[in-house]
Structure 1
Amino acid sequence: MTENAGVRRGGASGSRGRTTIADVVVTKIAGMAAREVSGVHALGSGAARARGSMRERVPGAGSGRSATRGVGVEVGELQAAIDLEIVVDYGIPITDVAGAVRENVISAVERMAGREVVEVNILISDVKLPDEDEEEGEDQRVQ
Structure 2
Amino acid sequence: MADSPVRTPDTTTTARPERTERSTSGSGHLTEVTALATDRGRTSIADGVVAKVAGLAAREIPGVYALGTGVSRAFAAMRKAVPGGRPDVARGVSVEVGEKQCAVDLSLVVEYGAPIAEVAAAVREHVIESIERMTGLEVVEVDISVDDIHIEQDDEDTSTRNLE
Deviation at 1:132, TM superposition (A): 1.0
Which of 41, 47, 58 does residue 71 from structure 2 map onto? Answer: 47
User: 1:1-143 to 2 correspondence within 5 Å?
Assistant: 5-12=31-38, 14-15=39-40, 17-61=41-85, 63=86, 66-133=88-155, 136=158
Aligned residue type for 2:137: R
Structure number with the bigger relative contact order (C-alpha 8 A, sep ≥ 6) is 1
Count of equivalent residues: 135
Q: Percent identity?
A: 52
User: Which structure 1 segments of 5+ residues have no match?
Assistant: none
Runs of 4+ off more than 3 Å: none
Distance 2:156 2:110 in 1: 13
Distance 1:72 1:33 in 2: 14
Aligned Cα root-mean-square deviation (Å): 2.4
Distance 2:157 2:122 in 1: 28
Normalization by structure 2: what TM-score? 0.75
Deviation at 1:130, TM superposition (A): 2.4
Q: Per the alignment, in what secondary structure is the counterpart of residue 146 of structure 2?
A: strand
Q: Per the alignment, in what secondary structure is the counterpart of residue 91 of structure 1?
A: coil
User: Which structure 2 segments of 5+ residues have no match?
Assistant: 3-29
Distance 1:5 1:31 in 2: 18
Which protein shows a greater Rg?
2
Distance 1:124 1:107 in 2: 21
Deviation at 1:42, TM superposition (A): 0.2
**Deviations along 1:75-97, whole A, 9 cap, x unmatched?**
01100000000000000110000
Flag the 1:111–1:68 CA change in 2: closer, same or farther, 3 A: same
Q: Tell me whether 45-54 or 30-39 shows the greater mean CA deviation.
A: 45-54
Normalization by structure 1: what TM-score? 0.85
Greater strand share, structure number? 2
Distance 1:100 1:51 in 2: 27
Aligned residue type for 2:147: S
